[in-house]
Amino acid sequence: DIQMTQSPSTLSASVGDRVTITCRASQDSSGSLAWYQQKQGKAPKLLIYDASSLENGVPSRFSGSESGTEFTLTISSLQPDDFATYYCQQYRGYPYTFGQGTKLEIK
Amino acid sequence: QVQMVQSGAEVKKPGASVKVSCKASGYTFTDYYLHWVRQAPGQGFEWMGWVNPHTGGTNYAQKFRGRVTMTRDTSITTAFLDLSSLRSDDTAIYYCAKDSLPVAGSSANFDFWGQGTQVTVSS
């Protein structure tokens, strides 16, 4: 299985901050990576797919990048609505696997 | 608009089976894989498998083979998840999720999700 190691597990930040969340794959994922946002008691929302493509309707302050087996989600200027938990997911190989999540908290 | 509406919460005893449904609307049901993903309390997500609504074909994660069955009824655009021999560690929220690309170019990232079904396994 491809293991996804996500960091940090918790991140405290303020409105307007630029934040970065990282996911490292145990094997080559060849760009087959998605990022999701989940708010308490809700289903996840797709933000980024294919490592760097923005899902329709997602604000442009969200972006994704890839360097080897390391993937990054960046929020350029945090908004109040962005405080949530974020997960990465690889779909390069079966079984599809997720990172353990990063909880983004208000500082 | 796309909607995925799941059946209600279930409480089961260890060793029992559970069947969760997912009613899809707002898109061509047979064109997109339907995945099942679960989330245990305070945990991350675990992909369980997919069903091809057009053919009924399936692909299950190795961990669940022998205990899971995914089916669909195209006449009512509904997918079903059957999980048998339930254990306490099957307690989780079970989600259905639509693949973002049509079957021919399946991507296995998920653009629409059901609201989740809480399954609790307890004696």
pLDDT at A105: 95
The string of pLDDT tens digits covering residues B80-117 is 999 999 999 999 999 999 999 888 777 889 999 999 99
pLDDT at A28: 83
The string of pLDDT tens digits covering residues B34-52 is 999 999 988 889 999 999 9
Q: What is the mean pLDDT of chain B?
A: 96
Cross-strand partners of B27:
none
Closest residue on chain A to B61 (Cα): A95
pLDDT at A26 over 90: yes
B95 touches A at CB < 8 Å: yes
Chain A nearest C-alpha distance from B16 (Å) = 25
Average pLDDT of A91-101? Answer: 94
Give the residue from A13, A1, A5, A23 showing the smallest Cα distance to A93: A1
Amino acid at B75: S
pLDDT at B102: 86
Chain A residues bordering chain B (beta-carbon distance below 8 Å): 32, 34, 36, 43-46, 49-50, 55, 87, 89, 91, 94-101
Q: For residues A63 and A47, what is the distance between their CA atoms, to the nearest angstrom?
A: 9
Q: For residues A32 and A56, what is the distance between their CA atoms, to the nearest angstrom?
A: 18
Do the Cβ atoms of B61 and A99 come within 8 Å? no
